[in-house]
Amino acid sequence: MRRYEEVDVVKAAEVYFKKFDIRSLLTEILIKLGREQPQDPVNAIRAQLDAKLAKQDRTGPHDIEHLPSCSSPVVPDADEEHDADDTLLQVDLLQLLIYENFPAKGNAGENLSRRMAWAGGFNRSVMENWVPQPSPCCACASVAGAFNALWQLERASPNSCAIREVADLMAANCEQLQLQKQQRLERLLSLPEGAFEEFYDSLDEELQRKGLSWTGRGAKGVTKATAISTARQVANQFGQSPSCFDDGFCQKASAVMAVSEPGCKDQSHEALSPETLPPAARQALPSGRSDIFEALREVLGEDNAQAPGEAEENEEQEEIHLLPHEGLNWKKELSELLSKRQGVLRLRAERPNTADVGSFGVRQAAEQLAIARKTEPIKVTTLLARKGSVKSIGAPLTKSDTEAEVHKQWCLLKTAFSTPSCVLLFHLTNHYALVFAWREWQDAQDTEHAPCLRRQILTARRGQRPGAWMDFEEVRRILLGWTGYHLLSLRRVRSSEPAREVAGSLCQDPPSAQ
C-alpha cells in the first residue's frame, strides 16, 4: 500500500514540477553551479533563485507602467550607451566587496579579505534601486536612481522616480536658458521678442532637407559645425535684398498674384519684391520675414562655413564678420543658442539624450525633483573637484597634492558615503553614475618598501549597472582632467535635523583596518 502511495506522490510531484517549470529551473542553476564552482555553493544557489524571482517580479503586470523606459520599447543601436536589461547585479554583496573581480563573471580572483588589512562598505539602497539606462541619458538615470535610493523606493513602486520625470525637469531648465539667450540676442539685434522662432522653422526645414536631425546620431545628427553652417545658408537665402529673390519666391508670389489679382500682368524677377506686390499678395506672404534673416546675414557674414565633418576647433578659428556689434563673436553666440535648443529637443525625445547636461543641470534637477514631489529637500554639494572649478568644494584637488592630502580626500569620500540619507553621484569621463561601494586593502610589496594602500570605488563606466571597480588614483585623474567633472553628494535633508554640509568634516587620522 505504501508503495502505491509513493508512486502517487512521485506522479503528483512530476505534474507539479512541470506546471511551474521547476525542474528546468533547478537544472539550469545546477549546471551553472558546476561550471563556476563557487566556494560557497549554498549562497550561490540562493543568489540564482533570487535572480529568477526578481525577474518574475519585474515581468508582472504591475511593473509595466513603471519601467524606466520613456514609452514603448525601442531596440537601441549596438553602439548606443544603455543597460542591456534591468536585472540587478545578482551576487552576494559581501562577496562583491571581498573578491578582486566580480563573482558573477566566473573568475572571482583573490579574496582580498585575507590580506593583513582590508575594509569596505556598500549602500544597499543604491544597489537595489538604481535605474537602468535605456538610452544615452545617464544624467537622468543617475538622478532618478539617487532619488529612489534616498527614499528607498523600488522600481516597481508606483511612487518611484522614472527617467522621463527627470528628463522633463532638465528640459524645462535648458529651455529657460535658451529663452534667456534668445532674448539677449534679439535685444542686441534690435529685433522684436520671438523673432528667432521664424528662423528656427526655416533652419529645421533646411536640416531636414539635408537628411539631418537635432536628435539624430552619427552621420544623421546635427553637430555644432553643421548647425552654424546651415544657419548661415538660411540667413543668406532669406536675408537677400528685394532685387535678388530666388525662383521659388517668384513662383510663389506669381501664384498668389494670379489668384488674388486675375488682371495683374506677370512681373520680372528684377522688379518683383514685397513692396511691388499688390496688397492681397503681400499679405499672403510671410510678414516681416526678412528682418531676422537680414540681421543674421549681416552679423554672420557670407556663407563660407566648413563642410560637415570638419573639426569644430578649426571652425572656431574661422574669420567672422562683426558688423553691427564689433567685438562680439556672433557665430559663438548663435552656436550656444542652437546648442541649448538642441539640448531641449534631445531631452524631450522618445529616447532622451543628456549629452548637453552638465553637473549644474544635475544639481538643479535633483533639487527641483524634491520640490516637485513635495518631499524633504535634497541638498547637492560638490564633494571632490579640481581646485577652482566651482565654489564650495569639500576637498579641492590639485596635481601637487601630497599623500596626506590625498588620504584626507579619500576619508572625506568614505565619510560622505557612510552618512545617513546620502548618495554619491560621479560625473566621470562623458558619463554620470552612482557610487555603489568602496573598499581598501594593503598590497604586500618587497620587504624594502612599506605596504601600499589600494583604494577603490564601485561605479559604472557605461550604463548604470554597477560594473567597475575604479582605483581612487583614477578617480583623481578624471577629476583633475577637466573642470566639468565632479563627485557630487546628494543628501536628503530630514525635517528633524538641520541642513549641514557633509563636506564640512575631514578624517584626519588613517582609517583602522577592519
What percentage of the chain carries pLDDT values higher than 90? Answer: 55
**Digit-coded pLDDT (tens) for 484-504:** 999 999 999 988 765 444 444
* Helix or strand holding residue 434 (H, E): strand 431-434
The pTM of the full predicted model, rounded to 2 decimals, is 0.70
pLDDT at 433 over 60: yes
Say which residues have a Cβ less than 8 Å from residue 168's Cβ, sequence separation at least 6: 347, 348
In this prediction, residue 90 has a pLDDT band, given cuts at 50, 70 and 90, of low
11-24 average pLDDT score = 66
For residue 108, what pLDDT is reported? 86
Q: Name the residue among 355, 305, 364, 307 with its Cα closest to residue 334.
A: 305
Distance CA 250, CA 272 (A): 7
Angle at alpha carbon of residue 312, lines to 309 and 316, rounded to 5°: 140
Distance CA 217, CA 346 (A): 11
pLDDT at 306 over 50: no
For residue 289, what pLDDT is reported? 44
* Helix or strand holding residue 8 (H, E): helix 2-20
Task: Decide which of 451 and 169 is more confident.
Answer: 169
For residue 438, what pLDDT is reported? 98
Secondary structure of residue 379 in the 3-state scheme: strand
Task: Decide which of 89 and 412 is more confident.
Answer: 412
Say which residues have a Cβ less than 8 Å from residue 371's Cβ, sequence separation at least 6: 377
For residue 26, what pLDDT is reported? 79
Instruction: Find the range with the poorest average confidence among 302-316, 346-360, 389-403, 420-434.
Output: 302-316
Phi, psi (deg, nearest 5) at residue 187: -65, -40
In this prediction, residue 80 has a pLDDT band, given cuts at 50, 70 and 90, of low
Distance CA 463, CA 137 (A): 9
Angle at alpha carbon of residue 69, lines to 68 and 75, rounded to 5°: 140
DSSP assignment of 104-121 = GGS----BGGGSSSEEEE
Say which residues have a Cβ less than 8 Å from residue 487's Cβ, sequence separation at least 6: 382, 383, 384, 385, 413, 424, 425, 426, 427, 435, 475, 479
Tell me the one-letter amino acid at 411.
C
Phi, psi (deg, nearest 5) at residue 487: -110, 115
For residue 124, what pLDDT is reported? 95
Say which residues have a Cβ less than 8 Å from residue 293's Cβ, sequence separation at least 6: 199, 202, 234, 235, 237, 238, 239
pLDDT at 463 over 90: yes
Residue recorded with cell 547636461: 357
**Digit-coded pLDDT (tens) for 231-264:** 999 999 886 644 444 454 445 445 544 544 455 4
Report in angstroms the alpha-carbon separations of 110 from 20, 187, 410: 38, 65, 23
Neighbours of 510 (CB within 10 A): 11
Distance CA 175, CA 361 (A): 12
For residue 82, what pLDDT is reported? 59
pLDDT at 266 over 80: no
446-469 average pLDDT score = 86
76-88 average pLDDT score = 53
In this prediction, residue 112 has a pLDDT band, given cuts at 50, 70 and 90, of very high
Task: Decide which of 79 and 443 is more confident.
Answer: 443
Domains within the chain, CATH numbers bracketed:
1-59 (no CATH), 103-162+357-514 (3.90.70), 190-323 (no CATH)
Phi, psi (deg, nearest 5) at residue 470: -115, 125
All three cell numbers of 259, joined, read: 489668384
176-180 average pLDDT score = 97
Say which residues have a Cβ less than 8 Å from residue 289's Cβ, sequence separation at least 6: 198, 238
For residue 37, what pLDDT is reported? 76
Task: Decide which of 88 and 59 is more confident.
Answer: 88
pLDDT at 423 over 60: yes
pLDDT at 34 over 50: yes
**Digit-coded pLDDT (tens) for 358-396:** 999 999 999 999 999 999 999 999 999 999 999 999 999
